[in-house]
Chain A
Amino acid sequence: MSWTRFFRRRRWDEERARELASYLDIEIDEQIARGVSPERARANAHRKLGNVTRIREEIFEMNTLGLIDAVGKDLRHGLRLLRLNPAFAAVALLSLALGIGANTAIFQLIDAVRLGHCRCRTPKRSSRSRSTPTTPAGPGASSDAGR
């Protein structure tokens, strides 16, 4: 098993619950065989095993991945709050939508006007050239030539 046990924790919980029930059955059988009355046998078996719910919780916790669980809870909490206050949710959604829309519109405008599309056939082979003022031979000139 690995982290995927997180998604099988409910199945594991059922499995462990059946296992604990099987423990109780066997213990009760043994106590009755020793001559204990059925009611007492049941009580004894439960006392011996301890709190079944707590044991199952402990195992369930072992199968829980903190991060996924926390994110899931946060998401559900957020959705519940939005549903609780639909007006606020609508305003928030609208401003987000307008904000994103405006951004896209402005980018498209700049893309068309300023960035444009390269019109040459082989943009890969194009290069940028720049003329530099010729400088008299000096300390920097030799190192520049080496590059």
Chain B
Amino acid sequence: MDGELLQGTLDLLILKTLALGPAHGHTIAHAIERGSDSVLQVEHGSLYPALHRLEDRGWIASFWGTSENNRRARYYRLTPAGRHQLADQTSRWEALVAAINRIVRPAPGHSGE
């Protein structure tokens, strides 16, 4: 697998990462990479337009803070609307995976016609 992300899944991954607590862009990118055992290689630059879009929709909010190693960094946190959106997108994702699995791995007895 080349780790290319499906359209729209980056939003879900960002929201999920922020559900654990506020984080800045650098942390989010590394968290997604580590969390997926480096299968998902997020192009770190593509993260920022996504963050901007999510903030524009009011799903996340940002503030300037100080990072672990004393650098100024812009932190993001989930808003109540974002939490709602996360639940929504998670269930939609699960439905999609289940649907694809039904085709790729049909249950024995249901295969064929």
B72 to chain A minimum Cβ distance, whole angstroms, is 6
Chain A residues close to B by CB (< 8 Å): 1, 5, 12, 15-16, 18-20, 22-23, 25-27, 29-30, 48-52, 54-55, 58-59, 62
The CA-CA distance from A50 to B45 in the complex, in Å, is 5
Residues in A neighbouring B74, C-beta threshold 8 A: 15, 18-19, 22
Instruction: Please classify how large the interface on chain B is, using the bins under 10, 10 to 19, 20 to 34, 35 or more.
Output: 20 to 34
Tell me how many residue pairs across A and B have CB atoms closer than 8 Å: 60
Q: State the majority secondary structure of interface residues on B.
A: helix
Q: A26-B67, A29-B71 are in contact. Are A16 and B48 (CB under 8 A)?
A: yes
Chain B residues close to A by CB (< 8 Å): 24-26, 43-46, 48-49, 52-53, 55-56, 58, 67, 69, 71-74
The answer to whether A49 touches B45, judged by C-beta atoms less than 8 angstroms apart, is: yes
Counting chain A CB atoms within 10 Å of each CB, which of B24, B46, B55, B74 scores highest?
Answer: B74
